[in-house]
Copies of this chain bind each other. A is one copy, B any other.
Amino acid sequence: MTGRFSLNQATTKYWPLPSLAAGCVEAGVTRVGLWREDIQAYGVEKSRRLMDDHGLTVTSLCRGGFFHTDGWLDENKRAVDEAVTVGAPVLLLVSGGLPAGSRDIDGARARVGERIGDLVPHALAAGVRLAIEPLHPMFASDRCVVSTLAQALDLAAPYPPAAVGVALDTYHLWWDDTIWAQIERAGREDRIACFQVADWVTPLPAGVLLGRGLPGTGVVETRRFREAVDATGFTGPIEVEVFDEELWARPGPDILADTLAAFRAHVR
């Protein structure tokens, strides 16, 4: 048994969904986090049937957000609907960076809060929880203006916890010396919607998106994070989500085996 472990599909990026489903069963893994681009390519309803047929629980769907782009509301409503269809209780929100030519990060952050509010009724009606994900400050200009857990919790605060929570990813948050207090706060305010684990490995590659490592390969106190999140009373899934070209180049079953081993050695 693999307990609360969930394989985020991004960790095995090139493993076709049917093989991933069969491989999870083979490895005793019962939970997966999915990505929209992958379930769209395979078919969203077909993905749901595939998960059901293999007894797999979907723990989250990545992602909505990018609130500064044209058509953001329709796109985010579609993302919520896909979460419903595929059986994901949580939709991660990566808020987006600054609009082209803008330096107004305060304005961008305020807009994220407003637009999440616009999305809340649809999410509540659908029974999907939105999870605001703070990304590492190195992504603040081009990917996500929400840079700390404190900001994410402030943005979530106006809305019911059933509608809006936060996603904690160790990769994005490990450097923050206020993180332990903010995790406690996230628990107290009933906002922990998703917990993801990846490690911080240097040197960072160009573009900095694909530099994450399996737990134990870098400097993050991944077990301390898991214990801090558990101490809030959180008993939900723990996704391992790693973006790493070298890891991705390997066969899916090998990646999954190493991911499980890393989870057992450095998270559980």
- Which residues of A line the B interface, CB within 8 A? 98, 102-106, 109, 136-138, 140-142, 147-148, 151, 174-177, 200, 202-208, 218-221
C-alpha spacing A176/B106, complex, angstroms: 10
Within the complex, what minimum Cβ distance (angstroms) separates A39 from chain B?
28
Q: Report yes or no: A142 in contact with B105, Cβ–Cβ below 8 A.
A: no
Given known A208-B208, A219-B98, A219-B102, contact A142–B177 (CB-CB < 8 A) = no
Chain B residues, Cβ within 8 Å of A105: 174-175, 177, 219, 221
Contact A204 B203 (CB under 8 A): no
Q: In the complex, which of the residues B141, B202, B220 contacts A202, with contact meaning CB atoms closer than 8 Å?
A: B141
| Minimum CB distance partner of A172 in chain B | B137
Other 17 A-B pairs with CB < 8 A, given A142-B203, A147-B176? A103-B220, A103-B221, A105-B174, A109-B177, A136-B137, A136-B138, A137-B137, A137-B175, A138-B204, A141-B175, A141-B200, A141-B202, A141-B218, A141-B219, A147-B177, A151-B177, A203-B206
* CB <8 Å contact, B137 and A176: yes
Q: Least Cβ distance of A115 to chain B in Å?
A: 18
Which among A137, A142, A174 has the highest number of chain B CB atoms within 10 Å?
A137
Q: Which residues from B are CB-within-8-Å of A142? A: 202-203
Residues of B near A98 (CB, < 8 A) are: 219
Choose one: B102, B106, B138, B141; the contact of A137 (CB below 8 Å).
B138
A205 CA to B207 CA, complexed, in Å: 6
Query: How far apart sit A203 and B209, CA to CA, in the bound complex (Å)?
Result: 10
Closest partner residue, chain B, to A266 (CB atom): B103
Shortest distance in angstroms between A155's beta carbon and chain B's nearest beta carbon? 11
Known: A151-B177, A176-B137. A208 touches B204 (CB 8 A): yes
Bound Cα distance A103, B102 (Å): 37
* Nearest CB of chain B from residue A205's CB, rounded to whole Å: 6
